[in-house]
Chains A and B, each alone.
Chain A
Amino acid sequence: MEPRSDRDQFAENLRVAIAKRGLGLEALVDRLRARGIACSASTLSLWRNGRTHPRRSEAIRAVEALEEILCVPRGFLTGAIVRRSRETMTQLDPDNDFGHILEEGQRQLGLTDCDHADRLAMREIVWIGPERRITRTRVKVVLRGTHTPTLKLPFTIEGFAAQDGAWHPRTIVPNHGVQTGDSIAFPDRGLSMHELLLDKPLGPGDVEVIEFDTVVSEQEIAGTEQYCEHFLRSSRPVPSMVLELRFQENDMPARIDSAASRTSAPEHAEYLPVKPYGRFAARAHNDVYGGGIHMTWSWETP
């Protein structure tokens, strides 16, 4: 059980929507079942009372169906879940205020909290170059459409700070399934949010993989600080998440650590040593929603 949040907008919205529609919980269960979704009355009751919240992707699908059954606007319930996840991010990491940055970026790019695409899996590969700097990362996301065709998604990435203090955003290079649209930079936070335009609309039930690289130019890398850490996180539910590091042959760090968390900032979780294999090191986690994976490395002998 989770403590009830003072700002539990999801529970409040669900309560209002059910009351307006005038349907009992058992009737909702039957209508969900008719759509091929199994969700018990006790679960709905717990959500409505703010005692638990939908987290797994199956539960999110039930909430999306509830929006239709209860005749409320798209995002009325699902948007509240995403906003709650961002608020949790901010509460746990007030200095970073990551959640509000996501909200502001989405607003400026005209994107909504409710993009009708489940994230089934997420993987990021990080290449560390001869100068021991991150030269490139490759992001792969497996998406499945929910009920209305999805055309674009937001993605936020960290940039690099040069030694003179100037900030360099990364460039996104699409590999499969997407092209880049508008972007917005938050230089004081070292972040940029990008609009990813899908090559073809992701219809209900469609499964598609998108893949893109994030890069900085060699000239820019030369002047950047050496970052010996990387985050992979998501404000939306991700059943499977992997962060993989690829170092240079014969230049492995003395120590690699990782922390992973499902619902809170990973840097607040326990750090565990990661066993390297050759030039590889990886950490995986499951059922992430608002959390993620953080990996750090160092060439200094402990």
Chain B
Amino acid sequence: MSRTKPERSFSIALREAVEKSNLTLSHLAEISTRAGAPVTQATLSYWLAGRSQPRRRSSLEVVVELERALNLEPGLLVEYLAIDRDLWRYQGAHREAISVISEDLVRIRQEWGIPPDDRMRRDYFGVETVMEENGGGYFVYELVLTLRKDCVPRLLITTDPAYCRTELPTDLVIDYGATLGRICRLDGGALVHELVLDTGNGVLSTVALRMRIPLRQDAPRPDHADVWALRPFGVVAASVSMPATGETYHRRITTFVSERSADLSRHESTWEPWRGGILYGAVGEVPASRVVLEWTDLTPDENGEIPEYSSPAPGLQ
């Protein structure tokens, strides 16, 4: 996660962005300073020429402001830096991960006034599949977010109608932390839900949110959970809780992680026996990630493989 590009790359990326923007260094320094990240024109000039690069923690805020002023994708400049702070939070999602976002979703964000950089720190994202004994069940979404100054406290959550029952507005239940805003259906059927965070009295800067969506009764029983997070998150977790039937299950966890300046890397566990009624798979502190959790009541052979099993999650073959 911390491989550093050559130092001159930061200066090249900054120089190209400044030239495209037609903004002067004096103007950029003024914008950044006014936004609460003071910097001088001389410092920017040094960075642009490659004679120095941002190293102090306070410089990170300046680079984030430069990205905003230059209308760059969040993280485009930050990913070149080596600053001793939780840098991964400021890196943009890798392009390969971003590519799964449909143009429709980009358009919805624009129409609903949600900028690419909403200035929220994403601490936790968990999706739990709860399967009940009577064949019913529901998905539980849990999020923890830290609100920064000037943040846009609204989120978009996309749900898959193949598994989620979302015909009625009352199907989606928010237990706490937000109210439901607009809903939009994408081509292909996926639903986009706007969640308006409860910012309380403005003092509570960290917000916890929990919501539930019922499983479709007419859909096959889920045998995997597939959780995407296209922004930097402290933790991304997929889990399933099963009724206590006494059956033995095995789990396999596959994660796709966007590491710094690298392609999405895939890590796959072996099939592991699972004790108890709940099962987790998680990744931590990554700019973008996908966690796929699979479970089965089949038993692995002596090679640790399950011959009869065909992976239910797309892209895992």
Chain A residues engaging chain B, CB cutoff 8 angstroms = 33, 36-40, 42-43, 56-59, 62, 118, 120-121, 123, 142, 144, 174-177, 199-200, 207-209, 211, 239-240, 242, 244, 272, 275, 277-278, 280-286
Check if B198 sits within 8 Å of A275, measured CB to CB.
yes
Q: Which of chain A's residues have a CB closer than 8 A to the CB of B123?
A: 121, 239-240, 284, 286
Check if A175 sits within 8 Å of B234, measured CB to CB.
no
Question: Measured between C-beta atoms, what is the minimum distance from A270 to chain B in Å?
Answer: 8
Q: Which of chain A's residues have a CB closer than 8 A to the CB of B208?
A: 242, 244, 282-284
Check if A36 sits within 8 Å of B2, measured CB to CB.
yes
Query: A120-B234, A175-B276 given as contacts; is B282 within 8 A of A62 (CB)?
Result: no
Check if A38 sits within 8 Å of B198, measured CB to CB.
no
Check if A280 sits within 8 Å of B176, measured CB to CB.
yes
Check if B124 sits within 8 Å of A175, measured CB to CB.
no
Q: Which of chain B's residues have a CB closer than 8 A to the CB of A200?
A: 272
Chain B residues engaging chain A, CB cutoff 8 angstroms = 1-4, 55-57, 82-87, 121, 123-124, 142, 144, 146, 174-177, 198, 200-201, 203-208, 210, 234-235, 237, 239, 272, 275-280, 282-285
Q: Which of chain A's residues have a CB closer than 8 A to the CB of B205?
A: 286
New A-B contacts (13) at CB < 8 Å, excluding given A39-B84, A56-B85: A38-B2, A59-B84, A118-B284, A123-B124, A142-B124, A142-B284, A175-B278, A240-B124, A240-B144, A244-B210, A277-B174, A277-B176, A284-B204
Q: Which of chain A's residues have a CB closer than 8 A to the CB of B275?
A: 199
Q: Which of chain B's residues have a CB closer than 8 A to the CB of A208?
A: 280, 282
Chain A contact residues, majority secondary structure: strand
Residue on A nearest B255 in the bound complex, by CB: A207
Question: Measured between C-beta atoms, what is the minimum distance from B71 to chain A in Å?
Answer: 27
Check if B280 sits within 8 Å of A211, measured CB to CB.
yes
Check if A40 sits within 8 Å of B84, measured CB to CB.
yes
Rounded to whole angstroms, the CA-CA distance of A4 and B76 in the bound complex is 39
Q: Which of chain B's residues have a CB closer than 8 A to the CB of A39?
A: 84
The 7 residue pairs across chains A and B that have the minimum distance between CB atoms: A240-B123, A209-B280, A277-B176, A36-B2, A284-B208, A284-B206, A39-B84
Question: Measured between C-beta atoms, what is the minimum distance from B195 to chain A in Å?
Answer: 13
Query: A121-B123, A121-B234 given as contacts; is B83 within 8 A of A38 (CB)?
Result: yes
Q: Which of chain B's residues have a CB closer than 8 A to the CB of A33?
A: 2, 4, 82
Check if A38 sits within 8 Å of B82, measured CB to CB.
yes
Check if B237 sits within 8 Å of A58, measured CB to CB.
no
Rounded to whole angstroms, the CA-CA distance of A62 and B235 in the bound complex is 20
Residue on A nearest B286 in the bound complex, by CB: A207
Check if A120 sits within 8 Å of B235, measured CB to CB.
yes
Check if B201 sits within 8 Å of A142, measured CB to CB.
no
Rounded to whole angstroms, the CA-CA distance of A32 and B206 in the bound complex is 31
Option from A177, A207, A284 in Cβ contact (under 8 Å) with B144: A284
Check if A282 sits within 8 Å of B235, measured CB to CB.
no
Q: Which of chain B's residues have a CB closer than 8 A to the CB of A207?
A: 235, 282-284
Rounded to whole angstroms, the CA-CA distance of A43 and B83 in the bound complex is 11
Rounded to whole angstroms, the CA-CA distance of A98 and B284 in the bound complex is 30
Rounded to whole angstroms, the CA-CA distance of A176 and B60 in the bound complex is 39
